[in-house]
Amino acid sequence: MSCFSCFSISQNKKASKKFDAERALQPAAPSRTLTADRGSGGESNKRPENHTQITQHAAPAQTTRPTPEATHRKEASNGSIAAQTFTFRELASATKNFRPDNLLGEGGFGRVYKGSLEKTGQLVAVKQLDRSGLQGNREFLVEVLMLSLLHHQNLVKLIGYCADGAQRLLVYEFMPLGSLEDHLLGIAPDQKPLSWNNRMKIAFDAAKGLEYLHEKANPPIIFRDLKSSNILLDENYEAKLSDFGLAKLGPVGDKLQGSSRVMGTYGYCAPEYARSGDLTLKSDVYSFGVVLLELITGRRAIDTTKPIKEQNLVAWAQPLFKDKRSYGKLADPLLEGGYPEIGLNEAVAVAAMCLQEEATVRPFMIDIVATLSHIAAAQPGTARRSTSTSGRRSNPTMEEPQDGGEQDEGRQRAVKEAIEWGSEFKSQL
């Protein structure tokens, strides 16, 4: 599903003062610092002294607006951008002149090709932006800056970029299994469906990526376009978030982040964002809920091939959230019952909490990560400790037990909390 402006709103809405990637092209812009730790909500923004600060330096005042190429060279020279710069010739050579048989995918922003860097032999994915497509200079700059300044195991790594003349290309690490969408939605009859274990592992990884953006980045980052096609998988089904062209620096605390236009993908946008452009970290939480529901059901967020009442995934699922006995109806038939009932109930409870209409009552990503860590740990071969990236203390009942006896006890506490979540949700309907 391609990215597009899923709704239009009045252009006279007050523009956000938080972040605009076009400021990277403006003279005398103030310096902005991305630092490494933040409590969520209204918690203190005080940073530990040993945390690394990542600064996006301002361009010096000029009488004329610098070109994007000049801006990129300036940022690279002062150390703000660690990504390599490539010439168009180098990337054409890497992809064998963008041969059709090297095409990995195509969307509203352009085409992605598999390539091999001539100097190192490294396999890469090269995204060639369509000059008449949806992603312009602003989105290109945002993606280069975001992926250069932010580093996490569940964010796709930016190797470099090309800004030769009118050409705009991004070079990423190669993810051999492609996107989550390729393995979950509309798969071929002879294609093996994702197991429940891998689905929960992918949900856990994607949640950790969002938690990093929300809790560790300072200011926090609103991803704004989370969907199954923007979650990439490596050979071990480890998931990484990709496509940061629509990302924004978020507000601090519970303040709203205004938006001049609503961007994203229909079916994944939070209702308050779709209605009025009010953007917060909880907008990403809603989108995550949609992706989690896709993982549970094997259905697309929007599927016009289904009966009218089932075309919108969230609208179809919400009545089933009210009765725990109906949760089994949400499970993907392709799983053929290959899932633990308790794990399904917990996963549905998390999705229901994320998809609540009122943004303020949706959980924080740190809480989602804590819960999904237990769901994933219950699956054979996927037990792991939650790798929370925030300094915020998580619920002690969600910590991983140390031995077998404590594990059973901790498991029961996790189940109890999931049931309480579901009960609270139903009481608000």
Residues acting as catalytic residues: 225
Two structure tokens written together for 341: 């009932």
Q: DSSP letter at 302?
A: B
Distances (CA, A) of 163 to 84, 91, 110, 243, 379: 11, 11, 15, 17, 45
Two structure tokens written together for 410: 């901790």
Q: What is the DSSP string of 336-402?
A: TT-S-HHHHHHHHHHHHHHT-SSGGGSPPHHHHHHHHHHHHHTSTT--------SSSPPPGGGSPPS
* Rounded distance between C-alpha atoms, residue 348 and residue 331, angstroms: 9
Instruction: Find out whether 113 and 144 touch, Cβ atoms under 8 Å.
Output: no
Q: Is 127 annotated as a binding residue?
A: yes
* Rounded distance between C-alpha atoms, residue 78 and residue 72, angstroms: 10
Instruction: Find out whether 263 and 3 touch, Cβ atoms under 8 Å.
Output: yes
Phi-psi region of 224 (alpha: psi -120 to 50; beta: other; left: phi over 0): left
Q: With helix as H, strand as E and coil as C, how does 110-179 read?
A: EEEEEEECCCCCCEEEEEEECCCCCCCHHHHHHHHHHHHHCCCCCECCEEEEECCCCCCEEEEECCCCCE
Q: DSSP letter at 257?
A: B
Q: Which amino acid is at 203?
A: A
Q: DSSP letter at 249?
A: E
* Rounded distance between C-alpha atoms, residue 81 and residue 144, angstroms: 8
* Rounded distance between C-alpha atoms, residue 227 and residue 229, angstroms: 6
CA angle 141–145–151, rounded 5-degree value? 150
Binding-site annotation: residue ranges? 127
Binding-site annotation: residue ranges for ATP? 127
